[in-house]
Amino acid sequence: MASSSSVPWVEKYRPRKIGDVSHQEEVVRTLQKALETANMPHMLFYGPPGTGKTTCALAICRQLYGPDLFKSRVLELNASDERGISVVRNKIKGFASTAVGQAVPGYPCPPYKILILDEADSMTTDAQSALRRTMETHSKVTRFFILCNYVSRIIEPIASRCAKFRFKPLGSEVMSDRLKHIAEREGLTLGEGVYDAAAKHSGGDMRKAITLLQSSARLFGAKELTGEDIIAVAGAIAEDDVAELLDLCGKNAFDRAIGKLDVMLRDGFPGLQILTQFADAVTNSENCSDGVKARICLAAAEADKALIDGSDDSLQLGAVVSVACLAMSGK
């Protein structure tokens, strides 16, 4: 009932096979091996968002079991499902302890089930500890795939039971290839700056890059997209404006810098975005010494925390600009 245009491209173009996953050679090689031998340990995938963790986990399950057995052999739980300690004790244990059924021809169908715990770093430590014994006792019939952003939030006993794989952020070339592929399928013409803009504003997050592409295609309704469209949808500020703000700080023109900041905020740019881009501009600036950069970044970090805690944009950013003015004029 939903029209085809409303299917998120992220889902539409999610790689279906392990081999199609780009940029994660080490993981892909290991999983290919596992496919051939149909044997594998528990897995722990970690890395920043949008690098292919869920995609890999789902792809290997699909290739191992095929569409028919997928439902009965694979259980996926992510952060939106209730995952307290009681769920670990009942649902997960229940799934893990049941024996496997008949294999279907045409697929490897190894004699175990797979349990995917997506976004596992949001599970409580208690829930994770409850998982330990379950993982060992049922390892004959169940393999666990644990997916998380921060491996440090997974308790050590769980981590040591798994083979760990790190997913790296995607480089701009890999990303351009993929975006090009999608654009061809969707009949879009992408201008020069699109790849750069998408790579820059997604920060190596493939999901974000594709979402940006789809959002701008929908919002502007055009068949041709330019880098500026992507930047507009990403809600990013033009580089020149940020450079001007930094320049004003360098001249110690505090009032004008605050005025500039006020214009940006009234144009509707989010405070966090301004802060991020300003901090980037400072770190890449050639005019400041390391000491000055460190001072400004410290102030930026404080402001970032304050903003996340719900403080007011203009006052917090004003303090950062003030520190920048002072630091760059040597006071």
Residues contributing to the site for other proteins (CB under 8 A): 1-3, 5-6, 80, 208, 211, 215, 218-221, 232-233, 235, 254-255, 258, 265-272, 303, 306-316, 318-319, 321-323, 325-326
Residues 9 and 213: beta-carbon distance below 8 Å:
yes
> What gap in Å lies between CA 303 and CA 271, rounded to an integer?
10
Listed in sequence order, the residues at least 6 apart from 294 whose beta carbon sits closer than 8 Å to its beta carbon are none
**Of 187 and 221, which CB lies nearer to other proteins in the complex structure?**
221
**Of 109 and 217, which CB lies nearer to other proteins in the complex structure?**
217
Least separation in angstroms between residue 249's CB and other proteins is 12
**Of 99 and 308, which CB lies nearer to other proteins in the complex structure?**
308
Least separation in angstroms between residue 6's CB and other proteins is 6
- For the CA atoms of 131, 134, 136, 137, what is the dihedral angle to 10 degrees? 170
The CA–CA distances, whole Å, from 60 to 56, 124, 148, 157 equal 6, 27, 17, 25
**Of 283 and 322, which CB lies nearer to other proteins in the complex structure?**
322
> What gap in Å lies between CA 55 and CA 38, rounded to an integer?
19
Helical H runs in the chain?
A: 9-12, 25-37, 53-73, 85-87, 93-97, 125-137, 156-160, 172-186, 193-202, 206-220, 227-234, 239-250, 254-266, 271-284, 290-308, 313-328
* 171, two tokens: 């480089």
**Of 279 and 321, which CB lies nearer to other proteins in the complex structure?**
321
**Of 11 and 286, which CB lies nearer to other proteins in the complex structure?**
11
Cα angle: 261, vertex 211, 208; to 5 degrees: 65
> What gap in Å lies between CA 100 and CA 58, rounded to an integer?
19
Least separation in angstroms between residue 286's CB and other proteins is 25
Amino acid at 283: T
**Of 38 and 219, which CB lies nearer to other proteins in the complex structure?**
219
